Amino acid sequence: MEEKTRSEIIDFLENRVQDCRVLVVGDIMLDRYFYGNVTRISPEAPVPVNLIDKKKNTLGGAANVAHNLAQLGCQTFLMGAIGDDHHGRLLTHKLEKRAIDSSGIVCGRDRTTTKIRILGGHQQMIRLDFEETEEIKDETQEELKQKITDRLASGIDAAILSDYGKGVCTKNLCQYVIRQAHAQHIPVFVDPKGTKWEKYQGADYVTPNVKEAGLVLGLTLSNDNEEVKKAAITICEHYDISNAMITRSEKGVSLYTDTGEIHVPTVAQEVYDVSGAGDTVISVFAAAIGAGLDPENAAQLANFAAGIEVSKLGTYAVSKDEILRGIKNKAE
């Protein structure tokens, strides 16, 4: 990282990030972990008995994007649909503890999307999913639209569509966010899912990984510079998206704009777990752009933060202080 880039990023983190206001709209999830030890087989069936001694609840999906923004120090507003249930109450409690504005969340689901992981020792034994994947009802969409309109009118610097394919990011709602945000000159960032990207048409930035970029084009994309570049150009042209930033695992990130391309190599380190890295990238990148950092420096910062995230076990929200320490240590 060059000295000028480092200086601008540090200035953003120390002096400007707290004034940045970011709206996140998408599929909100709760991740639950139950840790225990297996010492015997059940007498009822040939299955292990796991004696649970610890549990942990974390924010997932769009809520993890919001968590990353809050850890960065942004003013964060989360909107989506959950159920009126125990998991929904656990989730909203965690959002409140992290100073994430959850007033835009509506009860438009029969159940809150929840992933429960049971671990014996350090081994995951089973995952239990509670979710609905059909599109949210029209009345839920209208309720969210009104909340989105009100929030945008109050002032926002960037908007993120965090699509996990659980039914909140309908074409109707995505296009509404894009239109309303653009009417107020607010950039829209999309973390995409699936192959129906018409709903993201007109967005400012889309941030797929290599596999997702290939999937929407109906091909298996190799992590090659020219192939990735062609895919990014095709995606932007076909879906009228202004810019594409493709995350490329060990090759870092590549940002393609109408003025050229930027390649940011990965931060050298040991990788433990890549889950949640995409959430880190889009949250840090969107906040940096929203606060006025240029795209190249924003991509550098997002890639650096992702490098910290993948060095942790499980989904992890990287804090501003961790990023600052890492950047300053690299300079020494």
- Contact 233/256 with Cβ under 8 angstroms? yes
Q: CB neighbours (10 Å) of residue 93? A: 12
Q: How confident is the model at residue 258 (pLDDT cuts 50, 70, 90)?
A: confident
222-244 pLDDT, tens digit each = 999 999 999 999 999 999 999 99
| DSSP label of 261 | E
Q: How confident is the model at residue 273 (pLDDT cuts 50, 70, 90)?
A: very low
Query: Which tokens sit at 247?
Result: 């995350």
Calpha distance 98→13 (Å, rounded)? 18
263 φψ region: left (φ > 0), alpha (ψ -120 to 50), beta (else): beta
Query: Which tokens sit at 21?
Result: 């206001």
Residue type at 330 in one-letter notation: K
At 103 the pLDDT is 96
Burial class (CB in 10 A: 0-12, 13-18, 19+), 218: exposed
276-315 pLDDT, tens digit each = 688 999 999 999 999 999 999 999 999 989 888 877 766 7
Examine the pLDDT at 271 and tell me if it is beyond 70. Answer: no
Query: Which tokens sit at 202?
Result: 């007109």
With pLDDT > 70 as the criterion, what percentage of the chain qualifies? 95
| Residue showing tokens 């924003």 | 298
Element (H, E) at 205: strand 205-206
At 1 the pLDDT is 66
Helices (H) and strands (E) in the chain, counts: 10, 13
Q: What is the mean pLDDT of residues 5-23?
A: 92
At 332 the pLDDT is 56
At 274 the pLDDT is 54
- For residue 300, give the nearest of 71, 20, 48, 6 by alpha carbon: 6
Residues tagged active-site? 279
What residue ranges define each of the domains in the chain, with the CATH number in brackets? 3-29+60-112+133-331 (3.40.1190.20)
Calpha distance 70→101 (Å, rounded)? 10
- For residue 281, give the nearest of 259, 258, 249, 321 by alpha carbon: 249
The DSSP string of 218-257 is: TS---S-HHHHHHHHHHHHHHHT-SEEEEE-GGG-EEEEE
At 272 the pLDDT is 47
Q: What is the mean pLDDT of the chain?
A: 92
- Contact 78/105 with Cβ under 8 angstroms? yes
For the chain, first and last CA: distance in Å? 12
* The overall pTM is greater than 0.85: yes
